[in-house]
Chain A
Amino acid sequence: MPPAVETKALTRVFHPKKKKEGKSVTALAGVDLRIEQGELFGMLGPNGAGKTTLLKILSTLLLPTSGKAYVAGFDVETQFQAVRKRINMVSGGEISGYGLLTVKENLWMFTQFYGMKSQLALQRIDEMLDQFGLADKKDEKVRALSTGQRQKMNVIRGFVTDPEIIFLDEPTLGLDVNASRTIREYIVDWVGKRKDRTVLLTTHYMAEADQLCGRIAIIDDGRILACDTPENLKKMVKTSTMLKLDTTHLENKQGLSSIRGVEKFTFTDNPENNMTSLRFVLEDEAAVSDIVSSVIAGGAKILGLRKTEPTLEDVFIKLVGKGFE
């Protein structure tokens, strides 16, 4: 049985239209990936890491510059019709939809493009609208929906055809907590009940990847830096100590990286409330006192200090040397 997704040295370079518009951008740089059937697989990385580009190639919207990509064993470049029969895709933050159609009509029309029997499609649409809390909106025109409701409708559009493999590109992007939870729960439930179905989900929400995915690939600058289960990824920083430090605005942070025992550190300045949040991966816990001394010497006050459990963000910091923000 072929893997659900397989890429070999997959590379995608975007060239500017004119030379004066800047340099070429390498969105994917030789990505090798193998996702087995039945996996709920996450691609975790900051904006611009190459996640969406990968999904566009796998969903046959975009051609690679070099390398190969296979979905369900079919080459996305030459056997795209066979690929399209097996996939669907949902992009987060998407407000697409035919505004003149009702929610139900919009969803029904897409099911017909996937060859679903009309009766079954209507039944499934009703069930899913109910699950996503949109039952009372089914006869409303799509143009009357809020952004979040449209996004939910698009998630339904992706799942209603029951694809073998679904690509979810930041499916909860910009949604409120409740809507995000509904979608996450649905994804877990869907793949849990259908052992032969595969989900490839991209996200830059660490907790989302941690909560949902059986395996995660961490991607940055078009390269996969690590690929494993969340637990195994976190083991990469298990021997280290994670420290979170909140201070009043700290002007000079450069010296912190040279403190003995500091493996990696990132910071976020929040000028609105005059705060700086620092996050450290420490090889040696003894470095804490030096960090505190250095912060105080820098003129800032300590607002909070705590040791944390390793998270995927710590893994990312360890691998890349920077945070997501």
Chain B
Amino acid sequence: MAVTNDLRTFKNAAWLGWQMEANWTDPFLFATYSIVRPIAGTLILVFMYLVITNGETETAFFSYMYVGNAFYMFVAEVLFGVTWVIHDDREHFMTLKQVYIAPIKFYVYVFGRSAIKIAIVSIGVLITLAFGVFVLGVQVGSGGVDVPLFVLSLLLGLSMLLVMGLAMGGLTFLTAKHEGGINEGVAGVFYVLSGVIFPITVLPHWVQGISMALPVTYWMEAIRRGLMPDAMSEIAKGTGLEGLSNLELVGALLLSAFAFLVLSVAVFKYADKVARRKGKIDWTSAY
């Protein structure tokens, strides 16, 4: 019964999320925006890379950077998306309190809304990858794709991002105008420390210790190993995770994701209780 309720909540929240994401304009403009936005975002980085390397794109490292940047879209969008759901419901639509007092698990509602964001970002990531492979010669699939590793790490990673987003959502309960900054800060930390566009070995030794505690670091590595095994073996010695086998890598991802799950649930529950204590659930700031 509880599972049925949760599924229904998830389905309806996802439906609402889709209406919110896709209904703000006509379908043609929405489709154009969905294609242009991720490519435009990626091209900024590509051009920076081209200037630095004098137009060299057919290297393993370019592929490393390109794929990392493409999958980082998930990190930014999911973390930002979850908090935006709470912010938007509370401040803009003023429906948060109505949803909050409904007999549902609030986090299931948030996951449902966020699932649509993941689905939309997935399209962006796919378009970006296709653009990279066909236009820029990114080495995805050269030497085959380790499908089980890719699928497993993708699912684990997205689940991890959702629960991390939940913690950010909890913090959003307690803030009014700062949640954007907090999100960007956290997403920025992952961007710099998790080997998104450069290997963590570039970082000072003590910072690498922090990188190794972040699940996104293992996720990025696992995704790359799954999608471009040849390119990764070419630069294996420079990623900082070369000592881990694929199995150990997934294990590390699982372990760190579990630690973040526990932490995120604790943060969300605590923030939820504080928000109820301080009367922040239906609070509007006029920001």
Q: Which residues of A contact B (CB under 8 A)?
A: 14, 56, 59-63, 81, 84-85, 87-89, 94-101, 105, 109-110, 112-115, 157
Per DSSP, are chain A's interface residues mostly helix, strand or loop, or mixed?
loop
Q: Are A105 and B19 neighbours in the complex by a CB distance under 8 Å?
A: yes
- Is B5 touching A97 in the complex (CB atoms < 8 A)? no
Contact with A along B14-50 (1 / 0, CB 8 A): 0110011001100000000000000000000000000
| A157 B16 Cβ-Cβ under 8 A | no
CB distance from A179 to the nearest CB of B (A): 19
The contact of A100 among B23, B103, B273, B282, by CB within 8 Å, is B23
Q: Which residue of A lies closest to B96 (CB)?
A: A96
Answer yes or no: B12 CB below 8 A from chain A CBs: yes
A-B complex: 9 closest residue pairs judged by Cβ atoms: A96-B94, A113-B102, A85-B103, A84-B103, A112-B12, A63-B277, A100-B23, A63-B276, A62-B279
**Residue B93 is within 8 A (CB to CB) of chain A in the complex:** yes
In the complex, B104 has a CB within 8 A of chain A: yes
A110 to B93 CA separation, bound complex (whole angstroms): 14
In the complex the two chains form, is B104's CB within 8 Å of A113's CB?
A: yes
Give CA–CA (A61, B98) in the complex, Å.
10
Complex contact A59–B95 (CB within 8 A): no
- The answer to whether B19 and A61 have CB atoms under 8 Å apart is no
| Docked-complex contact A96 and B103, CB < 8 angstroms | no
A99–B23 Cα distance when bound, in Å, is 10
Expressed in whole angstroms, the Cα–Cα distance for A242 and B16 within the complex equals 56
Min CB distance B111 to A, Å, is: 14
Question: B126 to chain A: closest CB distance in Å?
Answer: 26
Q: Can you add 10 more A-B contacts, CB < 8 Å, to A62-B281, A100-B23, A115-B8?
A: A56-B279, A61-B101, A84-B102, A89-B101, A98-B16, A98-B19, A99-B93, A100-B19, A110-B102, A112-B8
Whether a CB of chain A sits under 8 angstroms from the CB of B235 is no
Residues from chain A with a CB closer than 8 A to the CB of B98 are: 89, 96, 110, 157
Most buried by B among A89, A94, A113, A115: A113
Q: Chain B: which residue is nearest A108 at the CB level?
A: B12
Q: Which of A89, A95, A109, A115 contacts B15 (CB 8 A)?
A: A109
Give the nearest-CB partner of B109 in chain A: A113
* Distance of A96 Cα from B101 Cα, bound (Å): 15
B99 interface hit (Cβ, 8 Å): yes
* B237 interfacial contact with A, CB 8 Å: no
Contact of A113 among B9, B19, B276 (CB under 8 A): B9
Q: Give residues of chain B (250-278) contacting chain A, Cβ–Cβ below 8 Å.
A: 273, 276-277
Q: Does B131 contact A (CB under 8 A)?
A: no
Complex interface: chain A residues within 8 A of B99 (CB): 113
Bound: A115/B4 CA distance, A = 10
Write out the residue numbers on chain B whose beta carbons fall within 8 Å of the beta carbon of A89: 97-98, 101
What are the residues of chain B within 8 A of A114 when measuring CB–CB?
A: 102-103
Given the contacts A98-B19, A105-B19, A109-B16, A59 and B101 also touching, CB distance less than 8 Å: yes
Closest chain A residue, CB of each to CB of B4: A115
* Residues of B contacting A98 in the complex (Cβ-Cβ under 8 angstroms): 16, 19-20, 93, 95
Q: CB-CB contacts of B88-115 with A at 8 A, as 1s and 0s?
A: 0000011101111111100001000000
Write the chain A residue with the least CB distance to B102.
A113
A96 to chain B, nearest CB (A): 4
Q: Please list 14 pairs of residues, one from A and one from B, whose beta carbons are closer than 8 Å in the complex, sorted by A's number.
A: A59-B101, A60-B101, A61-B100, A63-B273, A63-B276, A84-B103, A87-B101, A94-B94, A105-B19, A112-B8, A113-B12, A113-B103, A114-B102, A115-B8
Q: How far is the CB of B178 from chain A (nearest CB, A)?
A: 14
Say yes or no: B8 contacts A62, CB within 8 Å: no
Q: Which residues of A contact B281 (CB under 8 A)?
A: 61-62
| Distance of A23 Cα from B98 Cα, bound (Å) | 30
Assess A96 versus B19: contact at CB under 8 Å? Given A56-B282, A114-B102. Answer: no
Identify B276's interface contact among A62, A88, A100, CB under 8 A. A62
B20 surroundings in chain A (CB, below 8 A): 98, 100
Residue of B nearest to A53 (CB): B279
B95 close to A115 (CB less than 8 A): no
Closest to A82 in B: B103
A97–B23 Cα distance when bound, in Å, is 15
Give the distance in Å from the alpha carbon of A59 to the alpha carbon of B276 in the complex: 11
- How far is B91's CA from A207's CA once the two chains are assembled, in angstroms? 33
In the bound assembly, the distance between CA atoms of A284 and B55 in angstroms comes to 100
A168 to B247, CA, bound (A): 57
Contact flags B158-178 to A (C-beta < 8 A → 1, else 0): 000000000000000000000
Interfacial chain A residues near B282, Cβ < 8 Å: 56, 61
Contact A101 B19 (CB under 8 A): yes
CA distance A87 to B281 in the complex (A): 17
Distance in Å: Cβ of A111 to nearest Cβ of chain B: 10
Q: For B15, what are the chain A residues with a Cβ–Cβ distance below 8 Å? A: 109
Closest CB in chain A relative to B179 CB, distance in Å: 17
Q: Which residues of B contact A84 (CB under 8 A)?
A: 101-103
List, in ascending order, chain B residues with CB within 8 A of A110's CB. 98, 102
Q: How far is the CB of B110 from chain A (nearest CB, A)?
A: 13
Q: Complex: how many Å from CA A101 to CA B16?
A: 9
Kindly report which residue of chain A lies nearest to residue B284, judged by CB atoms.
A96
Residue of B nearest to A87 (CB): B101
User: Residues of B contacting A60 with CB < 8 Å?
Assistant: 100-101, 276
A161: nearest chain-B partner, CB-CB? B102
Q: What residues of B have a CB within 8 angstroms of the CB of A94 in the complex? A: 94
A-contact 0/1 string along B61-92, CB 8 Å cutoff: 00000000000000000000000000000000
